[in-house]
């Protein structure tokens, strides 16, 4: 008998490993995919870095706040690329018409999602580590010097990116590649609302309420407090974490509802538009 009895195994790390391996095979055999992971974060960082240099030469405030733009763009990229890493790994299954194989295999939804999370961290690391080194080389901005704060920022942003990634995966399961643009554009709604480049007070008061419902807002406020005032706002991070738990749970529920709907409508084998 060459087959184990995984029927009772509700969560199998080996199946998660199989999925991570599947995407690692793909990534490691395709240099355009690797280049794509580094290209845009590097372009963004350079553009905002030079803009910040220019502005800080002409403004006392920005001299004091050196690093806020470049810090913001790099944290934004963690949020955006984290979700994209999750969603693109999922899309790769649809492009390859492999989703039916996976849905028919013993792979469970929780294992699939866990593998996509790990994959998003791998893709994020491939993109962001070189870019963070470039930021040191070009602008003397050391993201790693944020230390523990960076770890907390990273965790909160990653949780948000996963929550959105899970929800988008559910939408793709249900509506097929016709909903592909959601994977690329969903997170951009967060760009103005989470106050990546400006403080929350800039928003009209009614929109501030919306902004504080989104975990990254706390992170970007926390980042500015750290860089400008040299204060680590643990309170903001705790609040971000609490909102993230709600958002993540919402993403999972949404995914399961879309999956159920996909089974009802028979779209799991189609995957097209």
Partner 1 sequence: MLAPATTPIAVDRLVKLYKAVTAVDGISFAIAAGSCTALLGANGAGKTTTISTIMGLVEPTAGIVTVLGAAMPRQRHRVLHRMNFESPYVNMPMRLTVRQNLNVFGMLYGCEDVAGRIRALADEFDMHSFLDRETGKLSSGQKTRVALAKSLINQPEILLLDEPTASLDPDTADWVRGRLERYRRERGATVLLASHNMSEVERLCDRVIMLKTGLIEDDDTPGRLIARYGRSNLEEVFLDIARGTGEARETAR
Q: Under the rule (CB under 8 A), what is the footprint of partner 1?
A: 2-7, 12, 14-15, 17-19, 21-22, 25-26, 29-30, 92, 96-108, 260, 263-266, 268-270
Give CA–CA dist 241/161, Å, rounded. Answer: 13
In the complex with partner 1, which residue's Cβ is closer, 4 or 59? 4
Nearer to partner 1, 104 or 249 (CB): 104
CB of 257 to partner 1, least distance (A): 13
- Helix (H) or strand (E) holding 110, with range, is helix 109-139
Helix (H, G, I), strand (E, B) or coil at 142: coil
Distance in Å, CB of 2 to partner 1, minimum: 5
Comparing C-alpha atoms, which of 184, 171, 119, 160 is closest to residue 243?
160
| CB of 261 vs partner 1, minimal distance in Å | 9
Give least dist CB 269 to partner 1, A: 5
Closer residue to partner 1 (CB): 230 or 264:
264
Q: Residue 64 or 263: which CB sits closer to partner 1?
A: 263
CA distance 154 to 82: 10
Q: Least Å distance between CB 199 and partner 1?
A: 45
Q: Which residues contact 239 (CB under 8 A, 6 or more apart)?
A: 218
157 alpha-carbon distance from chain centroid: 7
Closest separation in Å from C-beta 21 to partner 1: 6
How many Cβ atoms sit within 10 Å of the Cβ of residue 16? Answer: 21
At 269, which helix (H) or strand (E)? Answer: none
Q: Is the Cβ of residue 216 or residue 271 nearer to partner 1 in the bound state?
A: 271
CB 78 within 8 A of CB 72: no
Interatomic CA distance for residues 57 and 253, integer angstroms: 49
Q: Compute the least distance from the CB of residue 25 to partner 1, in Å.
A: 5
Q: Which is nearer to partner 1, 26 or 228 (CB)?
A: 26
Residue 96 DSSP SS3: coil
Neighbours of 43 (CB within 10 A): 11
Taking the least distance from each CB to partner 1, the nearer of 159 and 262 is 262
Q: What is the DSSP letter of 196?
A: S
């Amino acid at each position: 008998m060459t087959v184990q009895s995984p029927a009772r195994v509700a969560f199998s790390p080996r199946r998660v490993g199989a999925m991570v391996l599947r995407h690692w095979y793909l990534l490691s055999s395709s240099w355009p995919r690797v280049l794509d992971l580094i290209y845009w974060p590097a372009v963004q960082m350079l553009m905002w870095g030079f803009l910040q240099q220019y502005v800080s030469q002409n403004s006392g405030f920005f001299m004091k706040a050196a690093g806020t733009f470049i810090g913001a763009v790099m944290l934004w990229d963690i949020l955006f690329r984290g979700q994209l890493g999750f969603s693109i790994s999922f899309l790769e299954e649809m492009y390859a018409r492999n989703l039916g194989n996976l849905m028919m295999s013993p792979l469970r939804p929780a294992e699939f999602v866990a593998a996509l999370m790990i994959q998003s961290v791998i893709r994020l690391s491939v993109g962001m580590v070189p870019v963070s080194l470039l930021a040191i080389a070009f602008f003397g901005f050391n993201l790693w010097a944020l230390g523990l704060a960076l770890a907390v920022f990273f965790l909160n942003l990653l949780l948000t990116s996963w929550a959105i990634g899970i929800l988008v995966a559910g939408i793709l399961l249900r509506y097929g590649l016709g909903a592909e643009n959601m994977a690329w554009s969903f997170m951009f709604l967060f760009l103005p609302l989470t106050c990546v480049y400006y403080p929350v007070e800039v928003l009209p008061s009614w929109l501030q309420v919306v902004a504080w419902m989104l975990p990254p807002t706390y992170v970007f406020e926390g980042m500015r407090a750290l860089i400008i005032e040299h204060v680590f706002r643990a309170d903001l991070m705790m609040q971000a974490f609490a909102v993230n738990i709600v958002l993540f749970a919402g993403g999972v529920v949404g995914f399961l509802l879309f999956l159920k709907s996909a089974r009802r409508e028979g779209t799991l084998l189609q995957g097209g538009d």
